[in-house]
């Protein structure tokens, strides 16, 4: 996995010794606790569906979750469970119960609409984010840049797949144009129709690898994944057109693919309702960030400042103006999101202080005059 500097989202992988092995699942009176580490393949209210990590194709089983839908992470904080989480189970009543969540090697978050400080974790433990974009009609470079920034933020490794190579005269040239906005990212042009270019993408599907596919509707995500899986694991537009739901093939949202890899197919995850942050922007726009180090002012906004190396590069034709515009747009978005998260935290703290004050007023004090 490639590193994501200064991204707050991904939790560090614990040292191997800290990782609870099968023996760490506490012994239970009934002896019915499913042993070993389990993987969450679906989250419901009050319960999750899990499979053993060493037998991911087995029939999922239910495990109950604490009333708040959360479980403790190794750092002691509680977090709502997410698809892709690795959990330890115990049997307290007659049903297995989620006791603990392992440290998350990556998280895909969505800014929650509610007034909590929490972002909603759409999926955890994702290794590869496949950013799928069509070559026909023309790829939307701004969208690719946005999805790459979100992918970098997750802690997973982004890979771009350009679909429908059969429909354009110069897929290799277009691939280069996209690669220019994706520093440090592999970009593949493929045609599922003609079966070309798929090999390097197939190579990503190593046993145990968890991937997620994002991109606009109609980009060919389902067609691609089904071709890679050799089976219809992801409902295509055609399937839905004849009235069948998206999740006709399975009730799981973490779907095993041939060869032992797994696909996260959670509602909402194919889309783009995710959030960027400054650290991820520095990675997704490493060209801009590299130039910015040579600006005269450390806090240069690359607007009109004297000695701005970024503007100079645009002027010299070394950095496309479009690229700088994209960076500006995403930078504003990340800053806005950060401010909002701060405001939410401030509101939560304010509410906490008020609660404490109210409790003090209610507690027995000196008798009223
Ligand atoms: N010419 C061509 N068409 C393709 C290729 N791959 C997919 N398509 C077509 O693109 C259309 C959309 O494909 P889907 O796989 O359903 O797209 P999707 O990204 O899953 O779309 P949503 O489910 O709406 O998110 C379908 O009509 C496919 O047949 C390809 O390699 N070449
Ligand atoms: Zn500058």
- The predicted structure's pLDDT at residue 42: 93
Tens digits of residue pLDDT in 56-68: 989 999 999 999 9
Do 41 and 132 sit in the same domain of this protein? no
- The predicted structure's pLDDT at residue 114: 47
Residue 322 falls inside a structural domain: no
- The predicted structure's pLDDT at residue 141: 96
Tens digits of residue pLDDT in 116-168: 545 678 899 999 999 999 999 999 999 999 899 988 988 999 999 999 999 99
- The predicted structure's pLDDT at residue 304: 92
With a 6 Å cutoff on the Cβ, whether 363 touches ligand 1 is no
Residue 65 falls inside a structural domain: yes
pTM of the model: 0.78
Nearest CA to ligand 1 atom 3: 164
Tens digits of residue pLDDT in 11-51: 333 334 444 444 444 433 444 567 789 999 999 989 999 99
CB 280 within 8 A of CB 153: yes
Place of tokens 């979750």: 65
Q: How many residues does the chain have?
A: 369
With a 6 Å cutoff on the Cβ, whether 201 touches ligand 1 is no
Residue 128 falls inside a structural domain: yes
Confidence of residue 270 (pLDDT cuts 50, 70, 90): low
Would you say 266 is a known binding-site residue?
A: no
Centre of ligand 2 from the C-alpha of residue 288, in Å: 9
Centre of ligand 2 from the C-alpha of residue 295, in Å: 5
Nearest CA to ligand 1 atom 4: 164
Q: How far apart are CA 81 and CA 14, in angstroms?
A: 18
Would you say 308 is a known binding-site residue?
A: yes
Do 160 and 246 sit in the same domain of this protein? yes
Question: Which CATH number is 235's domain given?
Answer: 3.40.50.300
Do 40 and 149 sit in the same domain of this protein? no
Point out the least confidently predicted range of 31-35, 49-53, 87-91, 244-248: 244-248
- The predicted structure's pLDDT at residue 171: 97
CB neighbour burial string for 116-144, b if at least 16 within 10 angstroms, e if fewer: ebbbbbbbbbbbbbbbbbbbeeebebebb
Rounded to 5 degrees, what are φ and ψ at 223?
Answer: -60, -45
Residue 132 falls inside a structural domain: yes
**Domain containing 49: what range?**
20-101
Question: Which residues on neighbouring strands pair with residue 274, listed in sequence order?
Answer: 110
Centre of ligand 2 from the C-alpha of residue 302, in Å: 4
With a 6 Å cutoff on the Cβ, whether 256 touches ligand 1 is no
Distant-in-sequence, close-in-space partners of 148: CB < 8 Å, separation ≥ 6: 131, 158, 160, 181, 182, 185, 284
Tens digits of residue pLDDT in 293-338: 999 999 999 999 999 999 999 999 999 999 999 999 999 888 887 8
Centre of ligand 2 from the C-alpha of residue 161, in Å: 32
Write down which residue in 264, 285, 304 finishes a domain.
Answer: 264
Would you say 222 is a known binding-site residue?
A: yes
Closest ligand by atom to 190 CA: 1
Q: How far apart are CA 74 and CA 88, in angstroms?
A: 11
Place of tokens 């400054």: 278
CB 250 within 8 A of CB 239: no
Question: Which CATH number is 44's domain given?
Answer: 2.40.50
Residue 127 falls inside a structural domain: yes
Atom of ligand 1 nearest to the CA of 236: 16
Do 35 and 127 sit in the same domain of this protein? no
Torsional sign, CA 253, 161, 283, 209:
positive
Number of domains comprising the chain = 2
Do 48 and 146 sit in the same domain of this protein? no
Do 95 and 127 sit in the same domain of this protein? no
Point out the least confidently predicted range of 214-228, 242-256, 289-303: 242-256
DSSP three-state, residue 76: coil
Would you say 163 is a known binding-site residue?
A: yes
Do 159 and 245 sit in the same domain of this protein? yes
DSSP three-state, residue 288: helix
ipTM over 0.95: yes
Do 137 and 251 sit in the same domain of this protein? yes
DSSP-H helix ranges across the chain: 141-154, 171-179, 199-202, 221-229, 237-241, 278-284, 286-292, 309-315, 321-362
Across the chain, mean pLDDT equals 82
Write down which residue in 264, 299, 319 finishes a domain.
Answer: 264
Torsional sign, CA 169, 172, 178, 181:
negative
Centre of ligand 2 from the C-alpha of residue 23, in Å: 55
Residue 2 falls inside a structural domain: no
DSSP three-state, residue 202: helix
Query: Residue 161: enclosing H or E segment and its boundaries?
Result: strand 157-163
Do 65 and 164 sit in the same domain of this protein? no
Residue 325 falls inside a structural domain: no
Would you say 7 is a known binding-site residue?
A: no
Do 96 and 171 sit in the same domain of this protein? no
Nearest CA to ligand 1 atom 25: 217
């Amino acid at each position: 996995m490639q590193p994501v500097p200064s991204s707050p989202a991904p939790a560090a992988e614990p040292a191997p010794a800290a990782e609870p092995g099968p023996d760490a699942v506490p012994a239970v009176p009934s002896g019915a606790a499913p042993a070993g580490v389990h993987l969450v393949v679906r989250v419901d209210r009050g319960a999750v569906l899990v499979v053993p990590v060493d037998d991911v194709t087995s029939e999922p089983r239910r495990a109950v979750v604490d009333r708040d839908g959360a479980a403790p992470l190794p750092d002691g904080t509680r977090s709502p469970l997410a698809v892709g989480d690795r959990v330890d189970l115990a049997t307290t009543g007659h049903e297995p119960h989620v006791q603990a969540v392992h440290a998350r090697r990556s998280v895909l978050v969505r800014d929650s609409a509610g007034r909590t400080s929490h972002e909603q974790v759409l999926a955890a433990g994702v290794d590869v984010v496949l950013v799928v974009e069509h070559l026909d009609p023309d790829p939307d470079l701004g969208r690719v840049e946005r999805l790459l920034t979100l992918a970098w933020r997750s802690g997973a490794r982004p890979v771009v797949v350009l679909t429908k190579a059969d429909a354009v005269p110069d897929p290799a040239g277009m691939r280069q144009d996209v690669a220019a906005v994706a520093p440090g990212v592999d970009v593949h042009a493929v045609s599922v129709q003609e079966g070309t270019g798929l090999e390097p993408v197939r190579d990503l599907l190593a046993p145990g690898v968890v991937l997620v596919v994002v991109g606009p509707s109609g980009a060919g995500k389902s067609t691609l994944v089904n071709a890679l899986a050799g089976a219809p694991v992801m409902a295509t537009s055609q399937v839905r057109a004849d009235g069948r739901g998206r999740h006709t093939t399975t009730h799981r949202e973490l779907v095993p693919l041939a060869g032992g890899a797994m696909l996260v197919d959670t509602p909402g995850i194919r889309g783009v309702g995710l959030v960027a942050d400054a650290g991820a922007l520095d990675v997704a726009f490493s060209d801009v960030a590299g130039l910015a180090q040579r600006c005269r002012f450390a806090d240069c906004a690359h607007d009109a400042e004297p000695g701005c190396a970024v503007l100079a590069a645009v002027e010299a034709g070394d950095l496309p103006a479009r690229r700088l515009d994209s960076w500006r747009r995403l930078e504003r978005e990340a800053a806005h999101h950060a401010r909002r998260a701060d405001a939410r935290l401030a509101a939560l703290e304010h509410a906490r202080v008020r609660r404490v004050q109210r409790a003090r007023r209610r507690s027995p004090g000196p008798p009223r005059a």
